[in-house]
Chains A and B, each alone.
Chain A
Amino acid sequence: MPIILDKILLLIIVFAVGGLLCAIAQLLVVRTKISPARILVVFLIAGIFLETIGVFRYIREFAHAGVTVPIIGFGASLAKGAIEGAKQHGFIGAFSGGLTATALGIGIAVVSSFIVTLAFKPKTK
């Protein structure tokens, strides 16, 4: 029983943290008229920064998918890969590590977008 309660608590945390990040981004959209592309970049760099100073690990342990699913988590895993690559292979690893760590996600996104582009016609314009 307590395991189920733990999981429910975890889902509530995930919902709250993920939702909060999106609400902050939406606040920026509504208030400052910064374009969504810029906001994505800002959150991405925030993730890279937090991973670089070693804080993101603790945030991830607390909020799990609440921070790994928003783009901030993409930045963090890029940085994590680059840092681990640098540890293992020196300077070369700093260049290859980030892409290696995120290769699966980028690969899936490109291939599935390619298939969908072939298979579907846009409905509304």
Chain B
Amino acid sequence: MQAEQIKKRNKRYDKYVEAVSPKTAMLPSLAKSFWVGGLTCVIAQIIFELYTLAFPSVSEQAIIGFTLSTIIIIAVFLTGIGVFDKLGRYAGAGAFLPITGFANAMASAGMEFRSEGLIFGSQVKFFSVVGPVLVNGIVWSTVAGLIHSIINAVVG
């Protein structure tokens, strides 16, 4: 009896929350993410093509590394001059899903906590956002490697 009342009350409250919370217009926000994210990838691809022309003897893997490094440096610089924050507010996932967003998360957290000191402010906060990405990335890729080495051992 009481449980049911609580359930009803919760439902009413959920409805209320839904009614008062600001609605993000869905389609425009998807479109913004789409074109900013897509453009980021296109810029990277163009840089990749230019590097391939400039360094024809270097392996494709290394050129991908140079390309990602380049866009990371650009993103961190844009974070420094305050442009990337605006881009992030505008594009949402279009700004944070590419590797540029990873770099921005690191740099902006570092800048934000500069006032609390260089070591215990900035440098501690460097990994406050990207920490989960690194931890999960390292753990699960190690698992992937172990699975493959077990398969290699069993199959020979």
Contact = CB atoms under 8 A, between A and B. Distances in A.
Nearest to B66: A104
B93 interface: yes
Interface string B94-105: 101111111100
B19 interface: no
Report whether over half of chain A's contact residues are helix, strand or loop; otherwise say mixed.
Answer: helix
Nearest to A28: B93
Interface in B80-112: 80-82, 85, 91-94, 96-103, 106-108, 110-112
A86 B146 CA distance: 7
A39 B24 CA distance: 18
Nearest to B81: A120
Interface string A69-80: 111011100110
Interface of B: 24, 26, 29-42, 44-46, 48-49, 64-65, 67-69, 71-73, 76-77, 79-82, 85, 91-94, 96-103, 106-108, 110-112, 114, 118, 122-123, 126, 129, 132-134, 136-138, 140-142, 144-149, 152
Interface of A: 7, 10-11, 14-31, 36-41, 43-45, 48, 51-52, 64-66, 68-71, 73-75, 78-79, 81-83, 85-87, 90-91, 93-95, 97-99, 102, 104-106, 108-110, 112-114, 116-125
